[in-house]
Structure 1
Amino acid sequence: MNLVVYLAAGVFGLSAAVLFRRPCTAVRNPLTVSTCVSIALGSLVFVCSAPLTLATVNDLTGIPNFGAPLTYGMLSAYSCSLLVLLIHWRGGPPEQVRRMVLRSVAAYGPLIVAVVVLFALADARTERLTDLDTYYANTPYLREMILLYLIGHSAATLMMCALCVKWSREVTGLLRTGLRLILAGLLLDVVGFQLTKYTAVVARWSGHDLDLLSTTVAPPMASLGALLCSAGFVLPRLLPAAVAHGHSLRDYRRLRPLWARVRFASTAPKPPSSWWQLPQARLHWREVSIHDALLALAPYFDDRVRERALDAALRAGRTAHEARIAAEAVMLADAARRAAAGEEPLRTPSGHRLHATEVSGTSGLVQLAQALARSPAVTTLSEGTVRTSHG
C-alpha cells in the first residue's frame, strides 16, 4: 500500500513541477498557480495517508493517530484548492474571482479547524494506520470528524464534476480531452474512494464489517483517480508545446542537407552549446545561420544556371513551383561550389530572390533542403548546367 500511495504522490508532484517549470512566468498566472497548488496538495495528501508516514508522524509527535487529523486536514485543504482552481479556470471580473476564492477559504478553513478540534476531544488511544475510519466509526467526536472530512471532500469533487461536464460541452480539442480525463479521475474518486468509505462506515454503524472496502479498495482507486486527474491537468498545457518541439526537431533534421551545403559560408555566431537546447531554439539558430549563409552566397548566384535548370525541370514534367525550387537548388549548389573553391563572385550576380526568403517560417528552407537532398536529380541538373554555362 505504501508503494501505491507514494507512487500516486510522485506522479501528482511531478505534474505540479512540470506545470511550474518556469517560476517567473508561472507566478504571474493565477490559473497556473492554483493548478500547481491543487496538484501539490493532492500529492501531500497521498504522502500523509501512507501507513509508513502515519506511523512516523505518530512516533514524532507522541500522539497516537495524530496523522489522521493531519491527513484529513490536508485533504480538506485539497478540496478547497479544487474549488479555487475552478474559480480561476472559469475566470470573470477580478473582484468577483477574489470574492469567490475568499468564500471558499472561509468555508473550508473552519472545517479544517473543526477536524482538529474534534480529534482533540475524542478518545483515540489505539493507533490505527489503515482502518481508522471504520475502527472509530462509532466513537464520539471521531465519528463526526470522519463524516465532516468526507462530506467536505465530496462537495468539492461533485461540484468539479458538474463543471467539467458543462465545460466539456463548450470546448473542443485538447481542453475537452483534459476535462474528460479530470472528470474520469474525479468520478473514480467519488465511486472508488468516497462511496466505499461511506459504505464501510455506515456498515459499522449497523453492526456489519465491510472494512475491506475502506482499507483495500479505496486507496488504489484514489491513486488511479489522481493519475487521471494529473494527466487531465497536464495534457492541455504540455501537449501543444511537445508537438511544436516535435515539428521543430523534424524541420531541424530536414534542413540538414541545406545546412551541410552552405554552413561554410555562415558567419552567424554559434550558441554556447547545442546539446541541451530545446528543438525550437536549435531550429531558430539553424534558420538564422542558413539565411546568413544565403546572403553571403548571393554574389555567386548565376541566372544562367538557374534558367537552364528551370527549363530542364519543366521538360521533366514538374510543376512550376517544383521546377522553381529545383532550379534554385541547382543555382545554390553551383554558387556554394564556386565560393568554397575560392572563385571570385560574378560581376553581375543574379537579382533573383529565392522562394525560401519570400515566405515566413522554415517551410521554404525545408523545400530547398529537400530539393538538395534529391541528389540524383540535382546532381544531374547541376553538372549539366555548369558544363553548359562554363564550358
Structure 2
Amino acid sequence: MSLVVYSAACFLGVAALLVLRKPRRALGDPLNASTCAAIILGGVCFICSAPVTLAAVNELTGVPNFGAPMTYSVISAFSASLLILLINWRGGPADRIRRWVCSIGIAYTLLIAGIITFFALADAPVERLTDLDTYYANTPYMREMIVLYLVGHAVCTLVMCTVCVRWSREVTGILRAGLRLIIAGLVLDIAGFEVTKMTAVAARWTGHDLDVLSTAVAPPAVSLGALVFSTGFVLPRLLPAALAQWRSFWDYRALAPLWTVLRGVPTAPKPSPPRWQLPRGRLYYREVRILDALLALQSRYDGQVRERAYEQAKRQGCAPDEAHLVAVAAMVVDAARQTPQAEDRAVTEPVDASRLPTSAFSDTGELVRLSKVLGRSPGAGATREGTVRASHG
C-alpha cells in the first residue's frame, strides 16, 4: 500500500514542478497558484496516508494514531484547494471569486478544527495503520471524526463533479478533454473511496465486517482517481506548451539544410546561447542566426541566378510557388558560396529590392519552406550559372 500511495505522490510532485516551471510568475497568477497548491496537497495526502508515514508520525509524537487527524486534516485541506482551483479556473467577477474562496476557506477550516477536536476528545489507545476507520467506527468521537472527514470530502467531489459536467457541455477542445478526465477521476474517487469507506464503516455500525473495502479497495482506487483528475487539471495547462515545444523541435530540425548553407557566412557576433535549452529556445537562436546570415548576403544576391533558376524550375514542372522557392534557394546558395573577395567582382547587373528573397524573412514557416527546398534539392542553384536540379517528391 505504501508503494502505491508514494508512487501517486511522486506523480503529483512531477506535475506540480511542470506547472511551477517559473515560480515567481506562476505564483503571481491565482490559477497557477491554486493549481500548484491543489497538486502539492494531493501529494501530501498520499504521503501522510502511507502506513510507513503514519507509523513514523505516531512514534515521533508519542501519541497513538496521531497520524489519523493529521491525514484527515490534509485531505480536508486538499478538498478545499480543489474547490478553490475550480472556482479560479472557471473564472468570473473578481469579487465573486474572492467571496467563494473565503467561504470555502472558512468552511473547511472549521471542518479541520472539528476533526482535531473530536480526536482530542476520543479514546483511541490502539495504533491502527490501515484499518483505523473501521476499527474505531463505533468509538465515541472517533466515529464523529471519521464521518466528518468523509462527508467533507464527499461534498467536495460531488460539487466538483456537478460543476465539471455542466461546464463540459459549454466548452470544446482540450478544455473539454481536461474536464472529462477530471470527471472520470472524481467518479473513481466517489465510487472507489467514498462509497467503499462509508460502506465499510456502516457495516461496522450494523455488526458486519467489510473492512476489505476500506483497506484493499479504497487506497488503489483513490490513487488512480487522483492521477486521472490531476491529469485533467494539468493537461489544458501543459499540453499547448508541450505541443509548441514539439513543433519547435521539428522546425529546428527542418532548418538544418538552410543552416548548413549559411553557417559559414560572417555575421555580427552574438552571445553564446545557453548550453541546455528546450526546443523553442534552440529554434530561436538558429532562426536569429539564419536571418542574420541572409541579411549579410544581401549585397551578393544575383538576380540573374534567381531568374534562370525560376525558369528552369518551371520547365521541370514546378508550381509557381515552389519554383519561386527553388529560385530563392538557388540565389541564397550562390551568394553563400562566394568568397569574401567576390564582393569586389564586377556586377553585371545591379541588385534591386525585388530580387531579394523577401519570402525567407517573414516568419519561421517561410524559413522552413525554404530549408525544405534545399533539403530536397541540395544543389538547387548551387552553381554560379544558376543551374537547378530539383527533385519533386
TM-score (norm 2): 0.94
Output one character per residue of 1:1-54: Cα deviation in whole Å (capped at 9) or x when no partner: 110011111111221121111111112210111111111111111111100000
1:180-219 correspondence runs (5 A): 180-219=180-219
Shift of 1:268: 4.4
The match for 2:138 is: 138
Output one character per residue of 1:278-324: Cα deviation in whole Å (capped at 9) or x when no partner: 21111111111111111111111111111111111111111111111
Output one character per residue of 1:76-98: Cα deviation in whole Å (capped at 9) or x when no partner: 11111111112211222222111
Would the alpha carbon gap of residues 234 and 269 (structure 1) be closer, same or farther in structure 2, given more than 3 Å must change? farther
Contact 2:273 2:285 in 1 (8 A): no
Identity over aligned pairs, percent: 56
Contact 1:136 1:142 in 2 (8 A): yes
Question: Which residue of 355, 359, 379 corresponds with 1:356?
Answer: 359
Instruction: Give the whole-Å Cα distance in 2 for the aligned partners of 1:345 and 1:222.
Output: 77
Would the alpha carbon gap of residues 268 and 186 (structure 1) be closer, same or farther in structure 2, given more than 3 Å must change? farther
The match for 2:71 is: 71
The match for 1:375 is: 377
Runs of 4+ with >4 A deviation:
340-343
Shift of 1:66: 0.5
Which amino acid letter does the alignment assign opposite residue 377 of structure 2?
S
Of stretches 9-18 and 113-122 in structure 1, the one that deviates more from structure 2 is 9-18
Which amino acid letter does the alignment assign opposite residue 155 of structure 2?
A
The match for 2:82 is: 82
Of stretches 36-45 and 212-221 in structure 1, the one that deviates more from structure 2 is 36-45
Of stretches 134-143 and 326-335 in structure 1, the one that deviates more from structure 2 is 326-335
Of stretches 242-251 and 188-197 in structure 1, the one that deviates more from structure 2 is 242-251
TM-score (norm 1): 0.94
Shift of 1:356: 2.8
Which amino acid letter does the alignment assign opposite residue 106 of structure 1?
I
Instruction: Give the whole-Å Cα distance in 1 for the aligned partners of 2:168 and 2:346.
Output: 63
Supply the RMSD in Å over aligned alpha carbons: 1.8
1:1-391 correspondence runs (5 A): 1-339=1-339, 342-344=342-344, 347=347, 348-351=350-353, 352-357=355-360, 359=362, 361-375=363-377, 378=380, 381-383=381-383, 385-386=385-386
Shift of 1:365: 1.1
- Other structure's SS at 1:265 match: coil
Would the alpha carbon gap of residues 266 and 179 (structure 1) be closer, same or farther in structure 2, given more than 3 Å must change? farther
Shift of 1:172: 1.1
Shift of 1:355: 4.0
Instruction: Give the whole-Å Cα distance in 2 for the aligned partners of 1:339 and 1:295.
Output: 16
Output one character per residue of 1:309-368: Cα deviation in whole Å (capped at 9) or x when no partner: 111111111111111111111111111111367552554234313143453x21111121
Shift of 1:273: 4.0
Contact 1:313 1:326 in 2 (8 A): yes
Instruction: Give the whole-Å Cα distance in 2 for the aligned partners of 1:103 and 1:37.
Output: 18
Shift of 1:267: 1.6
Output one character per residue of 1:167-199: Cα deviation in whole Å (capped at 9) or x when no partner: 111111111111111111111010001100000
Would the alpha carbon gap of residues 214 and 387 (structure 1) be closer, same or farther in structure 2, given more than 3 Å must change? closer
Instruction: Give the whole-Å Cα distance in 2 for the aligned partners of 1:252 and 1:269.
Output: 21
Shift of 1:274: 4.5
Instruction: Give the whole-Å Cα distance in 1 for the aligned partners of 2:41 and 2:242.
Output: 26
